Amino acid sequence: MDYFLELFLGGLTRGSIYALIALGYTMVYGIIELINFAHGEIYMIGAFTGLIVISVLTMLGWNSIAIIVLAALIAMLYSAAYGFTIEKIAYKPLRGSQRLSALISAIGMSLFLQNYVLLAQTSNFLPYPNLVPTWDFLQPYEHIVRSTEMVIYIATALVMVLLTYLIKFTRMGKAMRAVAQDRDMSMLVGVDVNRVISFTFIIGSSIAALGGVLVASHIGQVNFYVGFIVGIKAFVAAVLGGIGSMPGAVLGSLVLGWTESFFTGYISSDYEDVFAFLFLVLILIFRPAGLLGRSDTDKV
Amino acid sequence: MKPVLDVNQLTMDFGGLRALDHIDLQVHPGEIVALIGPNGAGKTTFFNCITGIYAPTKGDMFLTRPQGEPKRLNGLKPNRVTERGMARTFQNIRLFQNMTVLENVMIGRHCRLHTGIPGAIFRPPASRREEKEVVADSYAMLEKIGLTRYVNEFAKNLPYGAQRRLEIARALATEPFLLLLDEPAAGMNAQETKALDELILRLRSDMKVSILLIEHDMKLVMSLSDRIYVVDYGKKIAEGNPEEIKSNPAVIKAYLGEDIDA
Amino acid sequence: MKKRFGRYFVLIALVTLTGMVLFACGQQQEQPAEATKEAAPVEKAVEPIKLGVAGAHSGDLASYGIPTVRAAELIVKKRNAMTGICGRQIELLVEDDVCKPEVATNTATKLVTDGANVVVGHICSGATKAALGIYKESGVIAMSPSATNPALTQSGDYPNFYRTIASDDAQARLEVDFALDVLKLKKIAVLHDKGDYGKGLAEFAKGFLEGDSRAEVVLYEGITPGAVDYSAVVQKIKQSEAEAVIFGGYHPEASKLVQQMRNKAMDTVFISDDGVKDDTFIKVAGEFAEGVYATGPVDTSSNPIAVDAVELHKKEYGEEPGAFFLNAYAATLALLNAIEKSGSTDYDVLTKTLQSEWVATPLGIIKFDEKGDAIGVGFAVYQVQNGQYVTVEF
Amino acid sequence: MITLQEIKKSFLVSLWFMFLTFPIMVIKVNTIEQTIEWRWWWMAAVGLGAFVLSFFWRIAIARKEAGKKKAEVSGEEKIALIPRLMSNPRFYIPGLVATVALVVIFPFVFSMYQTNILITALIYVVVGLGLNIVVGLAGLLDLGYVAFYAVGAYSYALLNYHFGVTFWMALPIGALLAFLFGIMLGFPVLRLRGDYLAIVTLGFGEIIRLVLENWNAFSFGPSGIANIPKPGLFGLKLSLQQSSIFIYFVMIGLALMTIFVVRRLQDSRIGRAWIALREDEVACQAMGIDKTRTKLSAFAMGATWAGMGGVVFAAKTTFINPTSFTIWESVIILCVVVLGGMGSILGVIIGALVLILLPEYLRAFSEYRMLVFGALLVMMMVFRPGGIVSGVRRIYKFEGLQNKVDS
């Protein structure tokens, strides 16, 4: 039974990590129907910015709680700035044209950001100091769940609640839902669409940055290529849950995390990813719009 | 003479909502039948059921080619229904926007042609001949409908009335014996509606095609239809020729609502 | 029919014409070296010796290719300052192959076309195999500091291939012997990172273990590099009650595995390969690295050439040398030494010299056997003891 | 003339970029040696660069907006430069001669390296034209196209390894196998649309790569398969130079065949069905087109060309392993189609030549190669969203009853 529990928690950790990134994918997709390939790199830049801030602060001799909190905040700020800038340069001019052009532009931007960090920083793996203190009440279960994992669960839950509140009860949330439904109509009724889209990128990017900092301190290392694989996985999770729906992104991420964890545990980790993809295909065959996605049947 | 289209006890539920409630409807060869009723009465749903876009909850639908055997429509995919000889137009125009007018009609010819992939690559004489025929037939159809002016124009650049007529031309290109028109006169001015009236009558006589029509323009319906079915909230409330329908109290109530004092 | 068909040719012509002529002329100054063997003896002409360096300089494996470039740069700079070799300056041709076979063929062709006499590289076994065919036909000797796939030398397909690192099977043999003879382990889990280096080594280790009655392979699994979390695999190791884990792969995955194993309070012995015997592993894994065994080239850090090389690197690039730096340094020295001793860059002459002359390198005094493996380059077992790799005598 | 207002705007932009790139560019952190290096002059460089570039960026964007507005206002379909050049005879006859001349003499005049990269470019032309059928004509976004490329490559490698099948036998077999895989992988995705289709096809691409990577007994796993023979010319022993020239002409032949067949398909009944499918699936089905057969034929035909491309790729590199068939390959082939100009054969050819030769000629930038490549991708898409040869889909022009197809 213990084995099952640990696999379950392992899957939960993976799922929460994917969720923090998948939320960014879903929000951006919901608003301008773009698969933001560069989102994985935003996550990586968030982790790197966090690492830089941590190094500078440790040199100044701050204590560890303050460092991790400040690092996370600054990382979120900078990633948001990157998200905002990328949208203005690579996606805004393409808003009128066909969707595939924006996709290729995103791919180009992802390649650019990877090499930008490779050249500016280093190609090696850099160790990531784990500043999340081990809480004493977790001591007895140390071998089952660690403090960094607990922080990830809490962060994901917190982000989910805040986001739901933002979307459901704030004016900007209403505007975002309107733009997601029909961009031109929202413009007609006076919604500043550009501001809403920028705001979506800012929120999506900062959540990814939070994920970046937490995950890097959990894994303990980071390099310029970290964002690519996790980005693809998070995108799979977002689609699995029904692209465009926030709860769908979280559900899809958790399902993907558990699938990978249980298949590795009970069958073999060689074909771990194969099972994850087969599982995705199966779900999409029976629910072509993902678990919670709204299947927009064409009105004939 | 067996009816061309025979629909009995057709029922369609969307979750709790009953969009169609045991509808019976027949169309006889060479006849123009109209299906009228207030918005949301289930008219387009009826079209979608018989053309296979929706699978009806209950009821049978039969299509009989003149002098042919009745064939059951239930469960057929839309393209099989069209092959069987029943083509349709759409309430909101669904033309192939980035294709030319001629290409749109050529798509209509698709199910009547046989060139497969090898035929396309090696272009044996048969395929070459078929391609010539397709172009000739499509152009002839455009002449009949009066759209030769726009032959190389993109569908999206056509004026509204012309787009409506192109949809009819495309449907006719599939050589149907029963043509379903979904509000063809919607958004047309009086002069365009009159032209449409003549066109439909001419189609019936030249092309030997029976027509099932959904329309809100009562003047057009009354002048064109041999028989009229009236539906309201998914139920059939009246059936008969135009005069009977004009005087039928149930129809008036459904359309014009109660008299205050009555 | 013909007229329509012709139109399309116009456009192919237009594009290839302009594109080709423009760029191709740019590359054309040095007249293309004939592919036939260059028999000309080394005249006193100023014609430089061209040393090719090929490997992953961008992409996710860049950290394994760049140290080799730096090793070659350091040596060439030093030798050119001392009037090069027999009066001929050394020209460095650095080409990136991103460790992908299809790019490696282009890289190899470019080096051959630019007239490289000898090549240090390639880094990954896959890319090396793709490139060797081209070097073989052009009579160019290639020496790799890191490609450990046994088939490269033992298959006999590549007489022009040499390497300054032992092959996977020798390393796997040492790891298994150490685990069974010294640590007397019974249940061993064999893991790898699904890469051609990691999985190749793991398969040899599994083969040797299954061939030995004293131990039992309780788990044989591949982990996905770059995954966010390895707790599932770590659970499986715990479940299999393995006393030790033999891991084939590079240090990023190894450190994640070790960290998560120690976090799950598992004291399983961790044995790995020279991809993990790297100071970065200790820095990244921190205190979790304690007690980890790793096989690697015989410890030559006290070797004067090695000390000098590391010093030079720190002075030039301001950071510790990366992976396979010493092996690359040794390979470059061996090649240049062979050219210097034989006084020619001819393929047959060089082959004879490499297989006969001993040469002093940071890995010790080495020579090459006729298959291409380095004699005198052995493997030793190391253990991380309070933050450093220490040789384990056995 | 540069107004004060523009200078102010550029100044703000440069401030923004200095703030934005401050942590990553200026502070080089090395947590291995616990050292931090402050590179302030990099920040100055970024500031200056941003200031200058923002001017060009604004001018380019303004010109692009003006261009678009003029096209919308005038309403006439602005035929791009290249197709206009193509259509007047005075220009294309000399061009035709130049093409044939260049194609014939190219491998003898230029170095083996140039020939080799042109062969790679030609492989991408063939594979790009295949994907163009799926994405350009039928509008089915396929992100896992590399799966069929791998099927072609591995079928040749394995058949040759086990049964000694030569290149010339493997080419049709590879194409056929890819055709079957096209259908097999097409079935489950019939009901999916847009991004769901993209992610599932991406999944299939990954599944095939992972199976190749893990199933050692079948595919020799990550160590791959070596010494795959190059195409033989009636058993002649060819030197490296001669065999690369021979492969070059094989590829020219294959590319011509592909262009010929794809043009024929495009102008045929099946071609129109694909375009109708892309325009409006519901209407296309209502007009009697069997959606399932049309989609499967698009997938299968597209896969066939990828299979052939894979066989030639295996023959050219003489060694294959799973790392050559990652998501990144699918992405590059998709870029070739979209960047070249979706739905236009000419566009795909130009896209392949640009996207494959560019990184090779950026080798001079060595490690900045991929950085510049990424930036160019973004810029090309921003300033030519429709692709290099955009807008002009070959339409069926009706010129009286003796109809002649306009190219």
One-character DSSP codes across C324-345: THHHHHHHHHHHHHHHHHHT--
Q: Is D345 on the interface with C (CB under 8 A)?
A: yes
CB contact under 8 A, A3 and C239: yes
Range list of β-strands (E), chain B: 5-14, 17-27, 32-36, 58-64, 70-72, 86-88, 178-182, 210-214, 227-232, 235-240
CB contact under 8 A, C13 and D221: no
CB A220 within 8 A of CB A271: no
- pLDDT, one tens digit per residue, over B14-61 is 888 888 889 899 999 889 999 988 888 888 889 999 998 888 889 999
**Which region among A67-71, A185-189, C327-331, D79-83 has the lowest average model confidence (pLDDT)?**
D79-83
Q: Judged by CB atoms within 8 Å, which residues 224-283 of D form the interface with C?
A: 224, 226-227, 239-241, 244, 259-260, 263
D31 interaction partners in chain A (CB closer than 8 Å): 51, 55, 126-129
Among A151, A148, A160, residue whose Cα is nearest residue A241: A160
Work out the minimum CA distance from D231 to partner chain C, whole angstroms.
Answer: 15
Work out the minimum CA distance from D364 to partner chain C, whole angstroms.
Answer: 9
Q: For testing the chain C interface, which of A147, A264, A267 should be mutated: the one with the most C CBs within 10 Å? A: A264
The nearest alpha carbon in chain B to A300 belongs to B90
C59 interaction partners in chain A (CB closer than 8 Å): 225
CB contact under 8 A, A110 and D193: no
Among A80, A99, A84, A94, residue whose Cα is nearest residue A195: A84
The nearest alpha carbon in chain A to B51 belongs to A300
User: What tokens appear for A204 in the block?
Assistant: 């999506």
Q: Which residue has the tokens 């992409």?
A: C59
Q: Is D102 on the interface with C (CB under 8 A)?
A: yes
Q: For testing the chain D interface, which of A56, A101, A113 should be mutated: the one with the most D CBs within 10 Å? A: A101
Contacts of D216 (CB under 8 A, 6+ apart): C199, C203
What pTM was computed for the model? 0.87
- Indicate the residue type of C260: Q
How many other CB atoms are found less than 10 A from the CB of residue C170? 18
- pLDDT, one tens digit per residue, over A260-277 is 888 888 888 888 888 888
Work out the minimum CA distance from D372 to partner chain A, whole angstroms.
Answer: 7
How many other CB atoms are found less than 10 A from the CB of residue C391? 13
Q: Are strands B5-14 and B17-27 parallel, antiparallel or unpaired?
A: antiparallel
Distance CA A215, CA A225 (A): 14
- Indicate the residue type of A121: Q
CB contact under 8 A, A288 and D191: yes
The whole-number pLDDT of residue D64 equals: 81
User: What tokens appear for C239 in the block?
Assistant: 């479940």
ipTM rounded to 2 decimals: 0.84
Bridge partners (DSSP) listed for residue B145: none
Question: For C183, how many CA atoms within 13 A lie in the half-sphere containing its CB?
Answer: 25
Distance CA B119, CA B129 (A): 11
Higher pLDDT, A63 or C206: C206
Contacts of D365 (CB under 8 A, 6+ apart): D371, D372
The whole-number pLDDT of residue A293 equals: 76
Distance CA A278, CA B77 (A): 28
What kind and span of H or E run contains C53?
Answer: strand C49-55
CB C334 within 8 A of CB C26: no
The whole-number pLDDT of residue C165 equals: 86
Q: Is D285 on the interface with B (CB under 8 A)?
A: yes
Tell me the count of A-B CB pairs closer than 8 A: 6
Contacts of A200 (CB under 8 A, 6+ apart): A27, A28, A30, A31, A176
Distance CA D31, CA C63 (A): 16
Work out the minimum CA distance from A190 to partner chain C, whole angstroms.
Answer: 43
Predicted confidence (pLDDT) at residue C25 exceeds the cutoff of 70: no
CATH number for the domain whose boundaries are C49-165+302-378: 3.40.50.2300
CB B213 within 8 A of CB B33: yes
CATH number for the domain whose boundaries are D97-383: 1.10.3470
D20 interaction partners in chain A (CB closer than 8 Å): 78, 81-82, 85
Q: Residue B28: is it exposed, middle or buried by C-beta count within 10 angstroms (0-12/13-18/19+)? A: middle
Range list of β-strands (E), C88-140: 90-96, 118-120
**Mean pLDDT computed over D80-85:** 63
- pLDDT, one tens digit per residue, over B48-63 is 999 988 888 899 999 9
CB contact under 8 A, B120 and D289: no
The whole-number pLDDT of residue D94 equals: 81
Q: Is A165 on the interface with C (CB under 8 A)?
A: no
How many other CB atoms are found less than 10 A from the CB of residue C136? 18
The pair phi, psi for residue B229, each rounded to 5°, is -110, 140
The whole-number pLDDT of residue C3 equals: 40
Q: Where in chain C is the domain with CATH 3.40.50.2300?
A: 49-165+302-378, 169-273
- pLDDT, one tens digit per residue, over A43-72 is 999 999 999 998 888 888 877 778 888 999
Question: Mean pLDDT across chain D, nearest whole number?
Answer: 85
B48 interaction partners in chain A (CB closer than 8 Å): 300
Bridge partners (DSSP) listed for residue D30: D35
Q: Are strands B32-36 and B210-214 parallel, antiparallel or unpaired?
A: parallel
A51, A116, A290 ranked by CB distance to D31: nearest: A51
Q: Is B27 helix (H, G, I), strand (E, B) or coil?
A: strand
D271, D285, D403 ranked by CB distance to B79: nearest: D285
**Which region among A17-21, A206-210, C59-63 has the lowest average model confidence (pLDDT)?**
C59-63
C222, C280, C284 ranked by CB distance to A269: nearest: C222
CB contact under 8 A, C232 and A10: yes
The whole-number pLDDT of residue C29 equals: 36
Predicted confidence (pLDDT) at residue C4 exceeds the cutoff of 60: no
Work out the minimum CA distance from A299 to partner chain B, whole angstroms.
Answer: 9
CB contact under 8 A, C256 and A219: yes
What domains, with CATH codes, occur in chain B? 1-85+176-262 (3.40.50.300), 95-173 (no CATH)
B44 interaction partners in chain A (CB closer than 8 Å): 300
- pLDDT, one tens digit per residue, over B116-158 is 888 888 888 988 898 889 999 999 999 988 888 888 888 888 9
Among A156, A210, A164, A242, residue whose Cα is nearest residue A47: A210
- Ranges of each domain in chain D: 4-74, 97-383
CATH superfamily of C169-273: Response regulator (3.40.50.2300)
